[in-house]
A and B are shown apart, each in its own frame.
Chain A
Amino acid sequence: MHEKTLAGLSQALHSKAISSVELTEHYLKRIEQFDGALNSYITVTPELALEQARVADARLAAGDAGPLTGIPLAHKDLFCTQGIRTSCGSKMLDNFIAPYESTVTARLLAAGTVTLGKTNMDEFAMGSSNESSYYGAVRNPWNTEHVPGGSSGGSAAAVAARLCAAATGTDTGGSIRQPAGYTALTGLKPTYGRISRWGMIAYASSLDQAGPMARTAEDCALLLQAMAGFDERDSTSVDEPVPDYSAELNQPLSGLRIGLPKEYFASGLDTATADAIAAAVKQFQALGAEIKDISLPNAELAIPAYYIIAPAEASSNLSRFDGVRFGYRCENPADLTDLYKRSRAEGFGDEVKRRIMVGAYALSAGYYDAYYLQAQKVRRLIKNDFMAAYEQVDVILCPTSPTPAFRIGEKIDDPVSLYLTDIYTITANLAGVPGIALPAGFAGDLPIGMQLLGPYFSEARLLNVAHQYQQHTDWHTRAPAGI
């Protein structure tokens, strides 16, 4: 059963070839069997899942079902799920049972999906390897000595290992696309504002965006359909009509203008990755696309700008974790200051503390202009680069990361080298434009990812381009060995 894509499972459910309960039981069994080695789930919710599956089966029987009804999903553990622990991968929220439902999960539940559990992640979504989780590192199903990427590493590993049909992720600086690239998945980061952030525990509010992680572009289209849309509870969500994302999947690519940004193919790019992208370029040409060299001249400024803006917002967003109302509280505080200091010192991990300190520094009096304001100006330049590029091309093609997944522990003591793994993904977050990652080959047993970036609200086009590629390649159909 787990061989099928989400779209395939949907068909099987609608044709009554399988029931949602059977499917859910199957995934629960696989989680029990394989997740010990992978650590992709923080919380598994079997009883809830089976109850939801029974309801879904009733809907399917009554003919009151959509394409997602009965599909077992996993959710990144930063989406608030009512009555279920929502830990954000942190000791700080290990005891936090969310009292309400996020918009993303609520919409997916309304569509009839089943929640298998909550997936592991870098603590508060801060990381690119899933090694900063309080619940331990996640292993890449393609090679368990390697990281699955981050911060949505649990979701990536769970989908890649077929421990769920698909999963939700969030992408603040590549956190959907980089792990999708490392695990041969298709992952979409929509335009900022396309999906509501209500109930999504914030890392960097102006960059955070939820999206689907699945095996194919077709699956992502089905999930995005349910997730996208205006939400009056999120002032930054955009009141823009939601198109039918599946309708244009089969459009031919003839005449499509694809840009290759020269800055993304410069030094530091691994040869196997460069070769895989070159092969993909040929494939697109064969499908009728026109390839153009373009420039995103300010791309090199993206990492420093991101590591000012994201920590600055995070330092403020994470202030609410003070041991007073919810989350971790230290034992026997001597006074208020002690309560604050020890609850936060004991509740947060190193990477979170590092970013809070960087962010607080960047916002402090006397440094704000030099750091935060300057970074915002860079952000504007990067956005302008994209706008100029989209006057020449329809989509931009580039790798998701400079190399395939690295080894667990390899970069753990070198934060800057870890930060640089997001060099190709971060620009899209800074500009707010959408991007989709999809598998483009392998380097040995490790997947190579590529990404397509498009103008604002071009998700349907990106899904179409990715889908057409997947109609003519089979990277996305491969499964990790042994599971």
Chain B
Amino acid sequence: MQWEIVIGLEIHAQLTTASKIFSGSATSFGAEPNTQASLIDLGMPGTLPVLNAQAVRNAVKFGLAIDAEIGMTNVFARKNYFYPDLPKGYQISQMDLPIVGKGFLDITLDDGTVKRVGVTRAHLEEDAGKSLHEDFQGMSGIDLNRAGTPLLEIVSEPDMRSAKEAVAYAKTIHSLVRYLGICDGNMAEGSLRCDCNVSVRPKGQAEFGTRCEIKNVNSFRFIEKAINTEVQRQIELIEDGGTVIQETRLYDPNKDETRSMRSKEEANDYRYFPDPDLLPVVIEPAFIETVRGELPELPQQKRERFQSEFGLSAYDASVLAASRELADYFEEVQRVCGDAKLAANWVMGELSSLLNKSDIEIDQSPVSASQLGGMILRIKDNTISGKIAKMVFEAMADGEGDADQIIEAKGLKQVTDSGAIEAMLDDVLAANADQVEQYRASDEAKRGKMFGFFVGQAMKASKGKANPQQVNQLLKQKLDG
């Protein structure tokens, strides 16, 4: 049987606000346990929540960026359940009237095709604290620093049809919230967390299959693996005559399997009702227009501009626009060297592999955008060849200075004196007399293949410094007569 996979994601983005969503406590990550927990965060009797306006602003930004309707009147509700890291015994969230209504996102798949994914809604809520189960000898510790951190829960439509699409969607959200400056996107610290709703159905069937929710997947790689593992489990289960039951599951990356957490029957009745401590938040059209005015250029707009302004391919534009920092870096390189294509090649090529190898982000790059731009200028004015440039780049990465300093210090300046190159080529041909004879005895097709050998020998002899175009041209003259 042919199976179709159906995926919807719920992404929790921690909003970057200086203070918590309902209290004045700081929200920074990694502080000593319970040092960022106020009376309100502790759920002390008699304390009351006051909504952080910045959280509302951030949510509205997100809503505008996905072309969603903004909830003009939105209501906070209590989601009631008992858990030690939930101090009040309820989480303040939004149920019926969320701040962000229906919207959409266009995602670019690996093959360059664009797919539109619906966003059902996005709502504001407070994060819970953390239970710590180690180091307490049979007891549990509770850290309430995170309790009350603002979250935007972004719920997608079940529009994705493969784990790769789900990852592309998650990456698009990740990129967008960082562009908007509303979330730092740090998945390792839990700033962006993902729940994956997964079901399968026979291809062509209209109704959805029964879905399972995989909770709290915290990297793109795990999203892909968790979904594929779960899809496999469901298909095998059904093909063996079983039925999928609606439940919440956890992904275990060590065993690469999903495990049941609780079934629908065991699920809490959250007894949602409007929080009487908070009045409905009424958002004025003027506020929305102000926020709209503050929106930065968004990834999609940037992609389009990179294509139209710089003539980049759709693929290059989408890679470069994926993160705001990378896009800014690229634009600075381009500005310095005045050559968008070379800039794009270097940023996506040498620079990206350098960052990947060192596992660092673009803002920690040892080679600055102006350094890279300066080096490309030297390629353009024929001071160095592309090949030598790679050496220069490595030296810059090792902190040996700017391109000009390195070229000077290492004597890497390209040789463009025809006389010198010709003399060098004569030596090379003399040293390889047998091959020259063979070459001259061959037909055109064979000659083409052999020509590269002589070029290689010549470049080697010049230690890469000879101008490759000149080498090509002069060599051709000498060999072909």
Contact = CB atoms under 8 A, between A and B. Distances in A.
Given A320-B87, A320-B88, A363-B80, A99 B273 contact: no
B50 A236 contact: no
B46 interface: yes
A319 B273 contact: no
Interface string A313-330: 101101111101110000
A33 B40 CA distance: 40
A315 B270 CA distance: 12
Nearest to B273: A363
Contacts, number: 102
A313 B276 contact: yes
Nearest to A200: B46
Interface string A324-352: 11100000000010001000000000000
Contact of A316 (B48, B78, B87): B78
B131 to A, nearest CB: 10
A183 to B, nearest CB: 26
B49 interface: yes
A235 B44 contact: no
B39 interface: yes
Given A99-B39, A372-B273, A201 B46 contact: yes
Contacts of A368: 271-273
A202 interface: yes
Given A205-B277, A235-B279, A316 B39 contact: no
Nearest to B51: A235
Contacts of B89: 316, 318-320, 322
B87 A235 contact: no
B84 interface: yes
Contact of A88 (B45, B49, B51): B45
Contacts of A204: 276
Contact of B82 (A86, A234, A235, A340): A340
B42 interface: yes
A335 B276 CA distance: 32
Interface string B74-95: 0000101010100111100000
Interface in B370-403: none
A365 B265 CA distance: 13
A205 B279 contact: no
A93 B46 CA distance: 12
A199 B46 contact: yes
Contacts of B44: 80, 99-100, 326
A364 B39 contact: no
Contact of A205 (B39, B80, B87, B276): B276
Given A233-B50, A235-B51, A363-B271, A316 B80 contact: yes
Contacts of B278: 235-236
A96 B44 CA distance: 10
A99 B39 CA distance: 8
B276 A319 contact: no
A102 B43 contact: no
B313 interface: no
Nearest to B22: A235
Assign chain A's interface to a size class. 35 or more
A325 B87 CA distance: 8
Contact of B271 (A198, A325, A326, A364): A364
A410 interface: no
A197 interface: yes
B90 A316 contact: yes
A78 B334 CA distance: 66
A201 B88 CA distance: 13
Interface residues of B, number: 28
Interface string A165-206: 000000000000000000000000000000001111110111
A253 interface: no
A224 B133 CA distance: 50
Interface string A223-238: 0000000001111100
Contacts of B47: 198-199
B269 interface: yes
A73 interface: no
A93 B69 CA distance: 46
A205 B92 CA distance: 15
B142 interface: yes
B82 A322 contact: yes
A280 to B, nearest CB: 35
Interface in B57-108: 78, 80, 82, 84, 87-90
A102 B80 CA distance: 26
Nearest to B81: A319
B190 to A, nearest CB: 22
A325 B276 contact: no
A312 interface: yes
A370 B29 CA distance: 44
A235 B43 contact: no
Nearest to B39: A100
Contact of A319 (B48, B49, B90): B90
A240 B426 CA distance: 97
A300 B44 CA distance: 36
A356 to B, nearest CB: 11
B78 A233 contact: no
A171 B276 CA distance: 16
A360 interface: yes
A198 B48 contact: yes
A233 B48 contact: yes
Contact of A80 (B45, B276, B277, B279): B45
B269 A236 contact: no
Contacts of A322: 82, 84, 89
A235 B49 contact: yes
Nearest to B271: A363
A313 B272 CA distance: 11
Nearest to B144: A325
Given A312-B273, A363-B273, A372-B273, A319 B82 contact: yes
Contacts of A232: 50
Nearest to A359: B271
A367 to B, nearest CB: 10
Interface string B160-186: 000000000000000000000000000
Contacts of A234: 48, 50
A270 B186 CA distance: 69
Contacts of B45: 80, 86, 88, 93, 96, 98, 201-202, 320-321, 326
Interface in A65-122: 78-80, 86, 88, 93, 96, 98-100, 102
A237 B223 CA distance: 45
A233 B47 CA distance: 8
Given A99-B39, A316-B80, A80 B46 contact: yes
Nearest to A86: B45
A198 B46 contact: yes
Contacts of A318: 89
Contact of B279 (A236, A325, A336): A236
A314 B89 CA distance: 12
What are the 6 tightest A-B residue pairs by CB atom distance, in nearest-first order? A319-B89, A206-B276, A363-B271, A205-B276, A320-B43, A199-B46
10 contacts: A80-B44, A199-B46, A235-B49, A235-B51, A236-B276, A313-B276, A322-B84, A322-B89, A340-B82, A363-B273
Given A233-B50, A316-B90, A365-B271, 9 more contacts: A198-B46, A201-B45, A202-B46, A236-B276, A318-B89, A320-B43, A324-B84, A325-B43, A368-B272
Interface of B: 39, 42-51, 78, 80, 82, 84, 87-90, 142, 269, 271-273, 276-279
